[in-house]
């Protein structure tokens, strides 16, 4: 009987992608996968992608629950609560019962759920006598700062609602880089997110396997500290193996919510090596009209080729409104798409640097492809990720906003020029080359993530009575 894992992602692009990459990896180790979404997320993925293109041995199923993907942050508190109920323990229990009743030969043998989907799930796993693993799609450091945040309250560093007492750059945990007080990952959604993070830590503490899409080498002190409390298993970067050998194409399709524009790859083929600026704000980044204008004018002023992902909802309130004459001005050196095949793009030899919102997947993909970054975070863990990129790994530069919160065109031009032309830029590019190798080594035979993944797979393949 093949091991059969039930995978439960959080329905957000930055969570579904690494969960699917985990699914591929498990399939290559002989697993059968059931990948569970809400109805609306499932339908949206199938609308944007060719049906049956995911992989043999991966069954995409949905629970009868209307929950549109989390690509807008409006009303996040109510939406997360309704998700935790709508795809909560009783629904998962029913899904397992239905699969097991249908599949005499392929009953579910383990559950792997996004950390956001683990609330109350241990009881269901125990009921069905299944091992449960939690999957954290971002840095271990993000989990660690949430985990220890109640302690920071007791030390008097944070108020009881998670707001820092002092407005200054602080080393909140001795094992982590200093963060500005405004950079703490829960502040964007207030006390709700702070309390939820603490609850998550309590819940996950009792789960034996917590898999992280990160690798030990980039945050070893945090892994060491948190491992004393929680079963920490970094298994990343979860990038399909074909991209790790620079073949740059894959037969696998990520379950994106939007149609991918692959024509930009032919456009990239025509550009010079290390010349193109790639700009993307992930699945949820939003710019004001003024900010969009400054970015467009900044790109125009660089005089360099660029590939820019302008999602239909990139601008707050309406379709992205590019400055008059901009498209005409950049016609010969600009390529604009609504959704890019990002892994193919980042691994393309024409790419010089990545202007990124610092979503963890984007950062890790950039590290694995050796691409230096210009950091433009706007919420959640993106500031923490920037601190690592800029201060710890030295793989990029921050793009700084002015007193009105706008990143001006001159700042963009300056960032690109430093990266491309200066001694400091050369050092950053050298660091990017080194970390690319370390990232790839982590998932190679005998690497740190390879070891963790094999420990996990071996344990999941063991029959309950062995
Ligand atoms: N992505 C993509 N095409 C795009 C923009 C993003 O395929 O045009 C992918 C990207 O490769 C990453 C995910 O979408 O895997 C975004 O995740 P991330 O954590 O970077 O940001 P989020 O969307 O969660 O803010």
Which pLDDT value is given to residue 108?
Answer: 97
Reported confidence tier of residue 321, pLDDT bands at 50, 70, 90: confident
For the segment 298-316, the average pLDDT, to the nearest whole number, is: 95
| Residue 200 CA: distances (Å) to CA of 148, 197, 223, 304, 393 | 11, 5, 18, 45, 28
* Same domain (yes/no): 256, 141: no
Determine, yes or no, domain membership for 173.
yes
Q: Please state, for a pLDDT cut of 70, what percent of the chain lies above it.
A: 96
Give, using CA atoms, the residue closest to atom 17 of ligand 1.
Answer: 14
* Same domain (yes/no): 233, 271: no
Determine, yes or no, domain membership for 280.
yes
Which atom of ligand 1 is found nearest the CA of 311? 8
Range of the domain at 348: 250-440
Which pLDDT value is given to residue 53?
Answer: 56
Which pLDDT value is given to residue 347?
Answer: 95
Total domain count for the chain? Answer: 2
Which pLDDT value is given to residue 78?
Answer: 85
Cβ-count burial 113-127 (b if 16+ within 10 Å, e if not):
bbbbbbbebbebbee
Which atom of ligand 1 is found nearest the CA of 15? 24
Query: Separation of 404 CA from ligand 1 center, angstroms?
Result: 27
Query: Which of 10, 14, 116 for a ligand 1 pocket mutation test, highest count of atoms within 8 Å of Cβ?
Result: 14
* Same domain (yes/no): 331, 420: yes
Q: What is the pTM of this model?
A: 0.96
Reported confidence tier of residue 83, pLDDT bands at 50, 70, 90: confident
* Same domain (yes/no): 237, 263: no
Which atom of ligand 1 is found nearest the CA of 340? 8
The answer to whether residue 84 scores a pLDDT higher than 90 is: no
Which pLDDT value is given to residue 55?
Answer: 66
Question: In a 10 Å sphere around its CB, with 0-12 CB exposed, 13-18 middle and 19+ buried, how is residue 243 labelled?
Answer: buried
Instruction: Give 462's strand partners.
Output: none
Query: Separation of 415 CA from ligand 1 center, angstroms?
Result: 22
Distance of CA 256 to the CA centre of its chain: 13
pLDDT tens digit sequence for 395-413: 999 999 999 999 999 999 9
Residue whose pair of structure tokens reads 């005409």 in the numeric block: 328
- CATH number at 12 reads 3.40.50.2000
Query: Separation of 401 CA from ligand 1 center, angstroms?
Result: 23
* Same domain (yes/no): 387, 435: yes
Q: How many Å apart are CA 312 and CA 320, to the nearest integer?
A: 6
Query: Separation of 94 CA from ligand 1 center, angstroms?
Result: 32
Determine, yes or no, domain membership for 13.
yes
Give, using CA atoms, the residue closest to atom 2 of ligand 1.
Answer: 342
Query: Which of 243, 342, 347 for a ligand 1 pocket mutation test, highest count of atoms within 8 Å of Cβ?
Result: 342
Query: Which of 11, 13, 255 for a ligand 1 pocket mutation test, highest count of atoms within 8 Å of Cβ?
Result: 13
For the segment 295-310, the average pLDDT, to the nearest whole number, is: 98
Which atom of ligand 1 is found nearest the CA of 339? 8
Determine, yes or no, domain membership for 141.
yes
For the segment 103-107, the average pLDDT, to the nearest whole number, is: 91
| Closest C-alpha to 455, from 234, 150, 185 | 234
Query: Separation of 17 CA from ligand 1 center, angstroms?
Result: 8
Determine, yes or no, domain membership for 455.
yes
pLDDT tens digit sequence for 219-251: 999 999 999 999 999 999 999 888 988 667 777
Q: Please state, for a pLDDT cut of 90, what percent of the chain lies above it.
A: 81
Q: How many Å apart are CA 358 and CA 391, to the nearest integer?
A: 14
pLDDT tens digit sequence for 375-401: 999 999 999 999 999 999 999 999 999
Higher pLDDT, 153 or 54: 153
Query: Separation of 15 CA from ligand 1 center, angstroms?
Result: 9
* Same domain (yes/no): 208, 283: no
Which atom of ligand 1 is found nearest the CA of 283? 23
* Same domain (yes/no): 72, 199: yes
pLDDT tens digit sequence for 166-218: 999 999 999 999 999 999 999 988 899 999 999 999 999 989 999 999 999 99
Which atom of ligand 1 is found nearest the CA of 12? 24
Which pLDDT value is given to residue 169?
Answer: 96
Residues contacting ligand 1 via CB (< 6 Å) = 12-14, 17, 256, 280, 282-284, 309, 339-340, 342-343, 359-362, 365
Query: Separation of 125 CA from ligand 1 center, angstroms?
Result: 31
Query: Separation of 12 CA from ligand 1 center, angstroms?
Result: 10
Residue 273 has, within 13 A of its CA and on its CB side, a CA count of 1
Determine, yes or no, domain membership for 261.
yes
pLDDT tens digit sequence for 51-76: 555 567 999 999 887 776 666 667 78
Determine, yes or no, domain membership for 35.
yes
* Same domain (yes/no): 335, 392: yes
The answer to whether residue 14 scores a pLDDT higher than 90 is: yes
* Same domain (yes/no): 59, 198: yes
Which pLDDT value is given to residue 194?
Answer: 95
- Average pLDDT score, the chain: 93
pLDDT tens digit sequence for 336-367: 999 999 999 999 999 999 999 999 999 999 99
What is 174-225 written as a DSSP string?
Answer: TTS--B-GGG-TTGGGHHHHHHHHHHHHHHHHT-SEEEESS-GGGSHHHHHH
Query: Which of 359, 365, 376 for a ligand 1 pocket mutation test, highest count of atoms within 8 Å of Cβ?
Result: 359
Which pLDDT value is given to residue 71?
Answer: 66
Determine, yes or no, domain membership for 466.
no
For the segment 123-145, the average pLDDT, to the nearest whole number, is: 97
Which atom of ligand 1 is found nearest the CA of 362? 20
* Same domain (yes/no): 265, 318: yes
* Same domain (yes/no): 91, 234: yes
* Same domain (yes/no): 220, 354: no
Which pLDDT value is given to residue 27?
Answer: 94
Query: Separation of 343 CA from ligand 1 center, angstroms?
Result: 9
Query: Separation of 433 CA from ligand 1 center, angstroms?
Result: 22
The answer to whether residue 466 scores a pLDDT higher than 60 is: no
Which atom of ligand 1 is found nearest the CA of 380? 25
3-state helix, strand, coil in the chain (%, to 5): 45, 15, 40
């Amino acid at each position: 009987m093949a091991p059969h894992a039930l995978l439960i992602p959080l329905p957000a692009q930055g969570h579904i992608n690494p969960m699917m990459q985990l699914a591929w990896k498990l399939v290559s180790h002989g697993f059968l996968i059931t990948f569970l979404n809400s109805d609306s997320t499932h339908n949206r993925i199938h609308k944007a992608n060719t049906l049956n293109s995911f992989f043999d041995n991966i069954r995409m199923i949905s629970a009868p629950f209307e929950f549109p993907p989390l690509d807008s942050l409006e009303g996040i508190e109510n939406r997360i609560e309704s998700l935790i109920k709508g795809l909560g323990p009783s629904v998962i229990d029913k899904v397992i019962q239905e699969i097991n009743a249908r599949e005499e030969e392929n009953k579910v043998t383990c559950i792997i759920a996004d950390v956001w989907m683990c609330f109350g799930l241990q009881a269901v796993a125990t009921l069905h006598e299944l091992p449960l693993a939690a999957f954290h799609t971002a840095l271990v450091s993000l989990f660690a700062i949430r985990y220890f945040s109640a302690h920071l309250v007791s030390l008097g560093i944070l108020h009881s609602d998670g707001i820092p007492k002092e407005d200054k750059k602080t080393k909140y945990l001795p094992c982590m880089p200093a963060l500005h007080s405004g950079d703490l990952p829960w502040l964007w959604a207030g006390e709700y997110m702070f309390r939820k993070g603490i609850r998550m830590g309590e819940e996950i503490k009792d789960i034996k396997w917590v898999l992280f899409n990160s690798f030990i080498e980039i945050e070893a002190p945090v892994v060491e500290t948190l491992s004393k409390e929680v079963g920490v298993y970094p298994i990343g970067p979860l990038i399909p193996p074909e991209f790790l050998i620079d073949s740059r194409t894959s037969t696998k399709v990520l379950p994106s919510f939007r149609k991918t524009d692959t024509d930009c790859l032919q456009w990239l083929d025509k550009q010079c090596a290390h010349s193109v600026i790639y700009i993307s704000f992930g699945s949820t980044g939003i710019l004001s009209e003024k900010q969009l204008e400054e970015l467009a004018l900044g790109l125009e002023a660089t005089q360099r080729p660029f590939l820019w992902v302008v999602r239909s909802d990139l601008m707050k309130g309406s379709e992205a409104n590019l400055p008059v004459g901009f498209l005409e001005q950049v016609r010969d050196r600009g390529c604009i798409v609504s959704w890019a095949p990002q892994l193919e793009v980042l691994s393309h030899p024409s790419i010089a640097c990545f202007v990124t919102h610092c979503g963890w997947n984007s950062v890790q993909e950039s590290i694995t492809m050796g691409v230096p970054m210009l950091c433009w975070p706007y919420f959640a863990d993106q500031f923490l990720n920037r601190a690592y990129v800029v201060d710890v790994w030295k793989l990029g530069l921050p793009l700084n906003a002015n007193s009105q919160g706008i990143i001006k065109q001159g700042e963009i031009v300056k960032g690109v020029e430093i990266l491309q032309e200066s001694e400091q830029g050369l050092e950053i590019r050298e660091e990017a080359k080194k970390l690319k190798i370390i990232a790839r080594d982590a998932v190679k035979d005998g690497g740190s993530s390879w070891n963790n993944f094999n420990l996990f797979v071996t344990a999941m393949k063991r029959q309950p009575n062995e």
